[in-house]
Structure 1
Amino acid sequence: MSSLDEGREPPETRREVVTETLHGVEVDDPYRWLEGDDDAVSAWVDRQNEYADAHLETATSDRLRPRFESLAAVADYGPVVVREDRYFTTVRDPTDDHARLEVRAEPDGEGTVLVDPNAWPGNDPESDAPPRSMGWFAAAHDGDHVAVGVTEGGDENYDIHVLPVPDPESIGTAERDGDGTDPVAVLERRGRVNANSFAWGADGGGFHYVATGEADDGAQMDKAIRRYRLDEDGETTLFEHDDRHVWPGLTVDPESGLLAIAFSEMVGGTEWYVHVDGERRPVLIDTDAETSVRFHDGTAFLHTDHDAPRNRLLACSVERFREGDLSFEECREVLPERESILQSAVPAGDRLVVHTQQDAHSRLAVHDRDGTHRRDLHLPEYATVTWTTAARDEPEAFYGVTGFDRPPAVTRVDLDAEREGSEVLSTVDVDVPDDLVVEQAVVESTDGAEVPVFVCHREDVERDGSGPRPAILYGYGGFRNSVTPSFGRFRLPFLADGGVYALVCARGGYEYGESWHEDGMLSNKQHTFDDFIAAGEWLVAEGYTDTDRLGVAGGSNGGLSVGAVLTQRPDLFGAAQCEVPLLDMLRFHRFLLGESWTTEYGHPEADPEAFEYIREYSPYHNIEAGVEYPPVLFRTAASDTRVHPSHARKTAARMQADAEGGPFLLRTKSDTGHGVGRPKSMIVDEQVDGWTFLYDALGVGDGTPSENSS
């Protein structure tokens, strides 16, 4: 079925076998030299990009590009963050490459631009400066300052820029240059600090943050908690932390100024400390529970899976939390464990906005602070609430909602209203075919597990034997990440052309709580891949598609899932798209953040048992010579500081040398990383590449969007 040109030969790749003995087993690695970053590797990457161009620059890409450029040329809106009388949000206008940061006096009022990355010299195509992007922002509790994370090339190592914010009366009229070049402080290259590892002090005169080294010198796993004061233009290191499996998170009580530090592992739960009188004081330690904390109006709210695999909400006073040596049993229960998964409970005045998920889609409700249910908020069927925020002292909250057939929308809700009290402030203005349908099914996998699968397609797609449709199966399956209904604007032409999009909620995620996660990690990791395979077989058995027209896609840990099912069941799929993937699972722990993931996958070098079960599924080591595999597009990034690009390089080289079928393509992007800070133009290029590959590999019509694409 593939119309990809298989006549071109891939570039030659030098083969230099390195043999290691692990736990008494000899393991050959013929492409280890591709783990480097020297001139030879760069030249090889260039040749691979040229080879990919030869397959992907086709009539299909010419036809799809104008549609994708149109889909990209719409406004995007970020979450609303309330600080006193100010509303912070990000907006990307249709003509902009990057979102700008604005502050408003009213949530729907005229704003003042605080930061505009589009105006930075590095984002001018005529400039020789490196491209830069804004990765995150954090507004001080009093709203007088905002901190912004600025990265070069999307590598997730950030400078911290601190900017003054106009007073509420000046918002909308303040004269600012708007590009963020007038900071009151700049902390350069402080590592992987992000919004979760940054916390403003209660007085707004300083902040705490987690600093790390950079990926280039192998030091991004070294961590230090620091305090910076604006009035002193200087900082103090509170303490350093060298556990490579733990990333600290910071929370400050806006009233008392209490600094709380979370040390969280993928396995082993979260330990909490407070920093009091220059010392760390343990609060919740020696626990396997995953716990997060929010401080509000003298109360510490604890969201935890302690004795509750689907989560519950506990509470105690901030003063009791400050004292330390707290036990869960001392806390009062605000929201008990229920059948649905508690995602978040956001305090707002004397209310709580409670987000739960039932069978991998969202529900939203308003409760009193004591947990009493007041009312449910209406959500569309099969929708996902992507974020919730609230004013601290007012009954006002905001949330983002989306779905397969529903563009993302920002909604405000009056929590005191007797009825709905909601208004949509903004929505992504994209024409969606009005004949799309969304269904949810349950498929049986190993051990009798019932795995949810969402399916989206045009209403006139029949399963009557009139012919299989092209279908894409997407999933993730790991690290407690749930996959839920989401909107993909660049997916619309595929759906309009009769394609079927399916989403599998594979084990390893959090769709049914911690037990669902544990059933797809460590020695149970094969269950994740079994769930992908079961979903693919179900799509074929139900008549949605056939094996020639079924594609599988995923990124990062989801790229591992794609690599595993590709090597285990190459007969099931007509194409595979594998993005920023982990694929050499016997060496993943040696690069970048890999050591911190051994709690999820196991340690192949330190643990003989883990070596055995990882070797069974490691995609790079399970490519069989002479076996026919479907076409594969590997995509990676030169500046990825999470997953090393060598995973994709080595696996593409091995498939090109040993496997039958294909073609096996590798696309490497520069000036970007694991997905952070990409300009609109780069996103369009990536989408054209990906969908051209899938259209041609799966035989999607002639690549021309139908009238239903409108």
Structure 2
Amino acid sequence: MPRRDETAASPDPPDTDRNVVTETLHGVEIDDPYRWLEDDTEAVEEWVERQNAYADAYLDTPTSERLRPRFESVAEVADYGSVVVREDRYFTTVQEPTDDHPRLEVRAEPGGEGVVLADPNAWPGNDPESDGPPRSMGWYSAAHDGDHVAVGVTEGGDENYDVRVLPVPDADAIGEHGVESDGHTPGPGPDPEVVLERRGRVNASSFAWEADGEGFYYVATGAADEGAQMDKALRRYRLDGRSDAGGTGEGEDEPPEPPESPETSETTLLEHDDQHVWPGVTVDPDSGLLAVGFSEMMGGTEWYVHVDGELRPVLTDTDAETSVRFHDGTAFLHTDHEAPRNRLLACSVERFREGDLEFAECREVIGERESILQSAVPTGDRLVVHTQRDAHSRLSVHDRDGTHRRDLPLPDYATVTWTTAARGEPEAFYGVTGFDRPPAVTRVDIDSEREAGTGGETIASVDVDVPDDLVVEQAFVESTDDAEVPVFVCYREDVADDGGPSGAPRPAVLYGYGGFRNSVTPSFSRFRLPFLADDGVFALVCARGGYEYGEAWHEAGMLAAKQHTFDDFIAAGEWLVGSGYTEPDRLAVAGGSNGGLSVGAVLTQRPDLFGAVQCEVPLLDMLRFHRFLLGESWTTEYGHPENDPEAFEYIREYSPYHNVESGVEYPATLFRTAASDTRVHPSHARKMAARMQAEADGGPFLLRTKSDTGHGVGRPKSMIVDEQVDAWTFLYEALDVGDGSAGA
């Protein structure tokens, strides 16, 4: 990190005990000197505190002091979530400039004043003087009739949720009260109707309201601290106290009488402990039919319906990834069956309920095409179709039979982040963003010819100053096996000269992910603005393992082909240097989670290519990832190093923790992790930091561990600003970025 005061002595990293554990896997002895850091003992906590102090010694600099007010400025603007329509009510989240957390509101009109239903900023634990753990709203789900809303509440961002149900005022009351809450805030505030405590990893995709709005289904898991996240149960809860396990809302002439005891209002419909399969639920709001999808991680989805107290198979014995959406008597199937880039099929709800359905029986609504079908949302008698081509979005309107009506214009290199619609009205909403475009919420009148040439009406947008000379470009970089890998580049126009940067090579940050069918597309970050304003270059690589070109692109970066992901990062870095945008000493690579694995791999494979590495909540010990938290479920993506000798061999070749070499000069590296992460265990970052501090040359190698947060869920704005100050201070120092005087 060349910009530190050279007269100041650099601190030494904390001492770390070496307690070598040797085990034999497939005939190979593997030494692990830092296995003791896998435990959450008092000794480990003390070691983590020393590591944080060591990071402070490098990151508490004049650069940090200059960046903080710039980040606080861009953080203190309003932000808006997606719009969910239920009958005559519109639900959304709003984060005001002074709020640490978004609050949930309901409105009578899309752009009207709202009633606050849940305000996490007022919850116990979020007061700076409170001793309790901070709480946040991870998700919400509004009942089909709009009369109730369920809220997922987490403590410390650990993704184990309370489920709380709140009443919602009707549209007339919303209009009367405007922004006044009339007793409906803060939530979960006084007397929510239901409080189900610590139901594990239940989230919006594993929660579904019954058609009558008086009950719901949800998938609960065991707790992470008990090693029970893989134990799953599908449950039904009735607000009126009924517990009839066989009911689906369909074909019931009279509801059963409520039981005398409210304790019987919850019923377990099934239990499931397959570590590689996750149940999801959806309900037809018209008939009340409950459909349960069992999705195998990186495999197919089997669908069942719950009828007469039993699960009836609908789509089984298939490796196709399929989602189901019910609308107005039709079951729409979004699937990659015989379509690696996806297509949309349909059948009647009655035929779906009968079970034993074959894909060939369904009619094709939207066929496979060059672009990737992301979603098709029904509204009235139309469909709003979102596709991606070359990793950026397109939107179009179709009839229910798939006939194309018109395209909805979007900016160049934009990403549609979500689409929603009213069930019975020709009204849809979508979010759009890009590298140079703050997120905006747009409303579209699907039937209006007046809007035929527009993208609709912007009803909310993030109001932040963006440099007006930003350039966004896309290149296709050759990687191994002749793959053409998309790379986006964003920089200020005054950097450009005949299509490339002018003057000295600029500081640059390369970001990517490359796994689990996740596409990376143009996105906006307010905290990136100071770097771009200071003549930085931001690049995004769409590495294999993602879904930018469908399932074939994913399979080209998984299991034995995982090295392709790292090849693509390296190819993108070499292209940035070769094209004159930057030079190795001024190029950083960054990523988190699976992207942290990608970053760790290129750190150990090509340390000469980068001047800095930022590795967040990463997987790094790939011979033991399956032993912690959700790791076993990821063996379908990476392979099983313990059970499969072939997988052991190719994983050992790239496992970052096992490929640190003494005597090699490695770039400055910042590992960031979270004590309450319930997905990727913090021991990955701990062990890697310890090994590099003890064995590697170069550096420094820093570890920052945050408490009261997890894999990224529910962080308050104040914590996000602190994290961003750390991250960009590290990058500014390591890449020799200017003094921060250019402004945001």
* Residue type at the aligned position of 2:622: M
Counterparts of 1:570-581 in structure 2 under 5 Å? 570-581=607-618
- Cα deviation for residue 420 of structure 1 reads 3.8
- Deviations along 1:129-183, one digit per CA (max 9) or x if unpaired, are 2210000000000000000000000000000000000011001415125111131
Cα root mean square deviation, aligned: 1.0
> What SS does the corresponding residue of 1:250 show, helix, strand or coil?
strand
The range that moved more, 60-69 or 418-427, is: 418-427
Structure 2 distance, partners of 1:571, 1:2, is 16
Instruction: Note if 1:366 corresponds to 2:397.
Output: yes
Counterpart in the other structure of 1:586:
623
Structure 1 distance, partners of 2:284, 2:298, is 27
- Cα deviation for residue 653 of structure 1 reads 0.2
- Among candidates 114, 119, 124, match of residue 121 of structure 1: 124
Structure 1 distance, partners of 2:561, 2:183, is 55
Instruction: Note if 1:670 corresponds to 2:707.
Output: yes
> What SS does the corresponding residue of 2:159 show, helix, strand or coil?
coil
Instruction: Note if 1:36 corresponds to 2:43.
Output: no
- Among candidates 470, 473, 477, match of residue 439 of structure 1: 473
Counterparts of 1:484-633 in structure 2 under 5 Å? 484-633=521-670
Structure 2 distance, partners of 1:225, 1:148, is 18
Structure 2 distance, partners of 1:57, 1:13, is 23
> What SS does the corresponding residue of 2:140 show, helix, strand or coil?
strand
Structure 2 distance, partners of 1:616, 1:548, is 26
* Residue type at the aligned position of 1:435: D
Counterpart in the other structure of 1:397:
428
- Cα deviation for residue 666 of structure 1 reads 0.2
8 Å contact 1:494–1:705 — kept in the other structure? no
8 Å contact 2:322–2:333 — kept in the other structure? yes
Instruction: Note if 1:423 corresponds to 2:457.
Output: yes
* Residue type at the aligned position of 1:557: N
Counterpart in the other structure of 2:183:
176
The range that moved more, 308-317 or 4-13, is: 4-13
> What SS does the corresponding residue of 1:314 show, helix, strand or coil?
strand
Structure 1 runs (4+) greater than 4 angstroms displaced: none
Counterparts of 1:163-242 in structure 2 under 5 Å? 163-172=166-175, 173=177, 175-180=182-187, 181-182=189-190, 183-232=192-241, 233=262, 234-242=265-273
- Deviations along 1:637-683, one digit per CA (max 9) or x if unpaired, are 00000000000000000000000000000000000000000000000
Structure 2 distance, partners of 1:9, 1:501, is 32
Counterpart in the other structure of 2:3:
3
Counterpart in the other structure of 1:252:
283
8 Å contact 1:493–1:705 — kept in the other structure? no
8 Å contact 2:167–2:184 — kept in the other structure? no
8 Å contact 1:313–1:335 — kept in the other structure? yes
* Residue type at the aligned position of 1:2: P
- Cα deviation for residue 4 of structure 1 reads 4.3
Structure 2 distance, partners of 1:150, 1:449, is 43
> What SS does the corresponding residue of 1:225 show, helix, strand or coil?
strand
Structure 2 distance, partners of 1:588, 1:3, is 36
8 Å contact 1:154–1:672 — kept in the other structure? yes
* Residue type at the aligned position of 2:292: I
- Among candidates 486, 502, 509, match of residue 472 of structure 1: 509
Counterpart in the other structure of 1:328:
359
Counterparts of 1:130-169 in structure 2 under 5 Å? 130-169=133-172
Structure 1 distance, partners of 2:467, 2:505, is 21
- Cα deviation for residue 3 of structure 1 reads 2.2
Structure 1 distance, partners of 2:135, 2:71, is 24
* Residue type at the aligned position of 1:317: S
8 Å contact 1:445–1:451 — kept in the other structure? yes
8 Å contact 2:120–2:126 — kept in the other structure? yes
- Among candidates 689, 701, 708, match of residue 738 of structure 2: 701
Structure 1 distance, partners of 2:294, 2:306, is 13
Counterpart in the other structure of 1:52:
55
- Among candidates 57, 68, 71, match of residue 68 of structure 1: 71
Instruction: Note if 1:455 corresponds to 2:489.
Output: yes
- Among candidates 291, 307, 332, match of residue 276 of structure 1: 307
- Deviations along 1:261-313, one digit per CA (max 9) or x if unpaired, are 11112332111111110111111111111111100000000000111111000
8 Å contact 1:413–1:420 — kept in the other structure? no
- Deviations along 1:397-454, one digit per CA (max 9) or x if unpaired, are 0000000000000000000012146100000000000000000000000000000000
8 Å contact 1:564–1:617 — kept in the other structure? yes
Counterpart in the other structure of 1:104:
107
Instruction: Note if 1:414 corresponds to 2:445.
Output: yes
Structure 2 distance, partners of 1:473, 1:22, is 35
Structure 2 distance, partners of 1:500, 1:346, is 36
Structure 1 distance, partners of 2:501, 2:679, is 45
- Cα deviation for residue 464 of structure 1 reads 6.1
Structure 2 distance, partners of 1:420, 1:116, is 38
- Deviations along 1:321-366, one digit per CA (max 9) or x if unpaired, are 0111101000000001000000000000100000000100000000
8 Å contact 1:104–1:112 — kept in the other structure? yes
* Residue type at the aligned position of 1:411: T
Counterparts of 1:638-653 in structure 2 under 5 Å? 638-653=675-690
Unaligned residue ranges in structure 2 (runs of 5+)? 242-261
Structure 2 distance, partners of 1:568, 1:324, is 51
The alignment of Structure 1 onto Structure 2 pairs a total of residues equal to 707
The range that moved more, 436-445 or 454-463, is: 454-463
> What SS does the corresponding residue of 1:121 show, helix, strand or coil?
coil
Structure 2 distance, partners of 1:45, 1:268, is 37
Structure 2 distance, partners of 1:608, 1:461, is 50
Counterpart in the other structure of 2:249:
none
* Residue type at the aligned position of 2:607: P
> What SS does the corresponding residue of 2:125 show, helix, strand or coil?
helix
TM-score between the two structures when normalised by the length of structure 2: 0.94
8 Å contact 1:64–1:705 — kept in the other structure? no
> What SS does the corresponding residue of 2:285 show, helix, strand or coil?
coil
Structure 2 distance, partners of 1:130, 1:688, is 23
Structure 2 distance, partners of 1:369, 1:501, is 41
> What SS does the corresponding residue of 2:418 show, helix, strand or coil?
strand
The range that moved more, 417-426 or 199-208, is: 417-426
Structure 2 distance, partners of 1:414, 1:83, is 17
Counterpart in the other structure of 2:247:
none
Counterpart in the other structure of 2:258:
none
8 Å contact 2:476–2:487 — kept in the other structure? yes
8 Å contact 1:589–1:603 — kept in the other structure? yes
8 Å contact 2:623–2:641 — kept in the other structure? yes
8 Å contact 2:495–2:502 — kept in the other structure? no
* Residue type at the aligned position of 2:687: K
> What SS does the corresponding residue of 1:123 show, helix, strand or coil?
coil
8 Å contact 1:123–1:132 — kept in the other structure? yes
